[in-house]
Amino acid sequence: MPQISVIKGDITKVKVDAVVNAANTTLMGGGGVDGAIHRAAGPALYNACEKFHGCPTGEARITGGFNLPAKFIIHTPGPVWHGGDNGEDQLLANSYRNSLQLADQHLCRTVAFPSISTGVYAFPLQRAAKIAITTIKNFLPTANFVDQVTMVCFDDRTFAAYQSQLY
């Protein structure tokens, strides 16, 4: 039975088949989760990301996990919030869906996500949590391999927002 869970913790320490990185469109590392994942995975990740020459918002790319406990890192640039009338909801849903599809194609059963776009990209947290959980719930019945998705939240506010969307 596929399931979704919400935990509070450090996504760089979660042991799963694939960790999703809330990347920027260059895929070259940045602040927040992206910077933490790049630092924890080590310098080989930068080299692996270079070959993609970036990634458009809402799409996803996959690399090895390097020094992370995860087998793979899936990089997806979420949308920057511009008021909500610029397709942000759809782009955010695409980030989750495309990441899950890539995980499924690479035979991953367990996937961990951060809260995409809710940090410096300023996507409203409750709205982002609703889109994330809805997209994951809609994807799981169609998955061939993915059967456990964990939202890894770095603070109480984020944890509460995702937890409230589970039921």
Of all residues in the chain, the percent with pLDDT exceeding 70 is: 99
**Using CA atoms, how far apart are residues 103 and 97, in angstroms rounded to an integer?**
10
Domain holding 46: CATH number? 3.40.220.10
**Domain span at residue 138?**
3-165
User: Per residue in 64-119, pLDDT tens?
Assistant: 999 999 999 999 999 999 999 999 999 999 999 999 999 999 999 999 999 999 99
Judged against a pLDDT cut of 90, whether residue 24 lies above it is answered with: yes
In the DSSP assignment, the letter for residue 144 is S
Q: What share of the chain is helix, strand, coil (3-state, %, to 5)?
A: 40, 20, 40
List C-alpha distances in Å: 33 to 3, 45, 47, 85, 86.
23, 14, 18, 26, 24
Give pTM, 2 decimals.
Answer: 0.97
**Using CA atoms, how far apart are residues 62 and 76, in angstroms rounded to an integer?**
9
Q: Average pLDDT over the chain, rounded to whole?
A: 96
Rg (C-alpha) for the chain, rounded Å, is: 14
Residue 167: predicted pLDDT: 77
**Using CA atoms, how far apart are residues 53 and 105, in angstroms rounded to an integer?**
22
How many structural domains comprise the chain? 1
Judged against a pLDDT cut of 80, whether residue 2 lies above it is answered with: no
pLDDT category, 8, cuts 50, 70, 90? Answer: very high
**Using CA atoms, how far apart are residues 42 and 65, in angstroms rounded to an integer?**
9
Task: Answer left, alpha or beta for residue 19, where phi above 0 means left and psi between -120 and 50 means alpha.
Answer: beta
pLDDT category, 157, cuts 50, 70, 90? Answer: very high
DSSP string, 49-102: HHTTT---TT--EEEE-TTSSSSEEEEEEPPPPSSS-SSHHHHHHHHHHHHHHH
As annotated, the active-site residues are 34
Report the DSSP beta bridge partners of residue 149: 4, 111
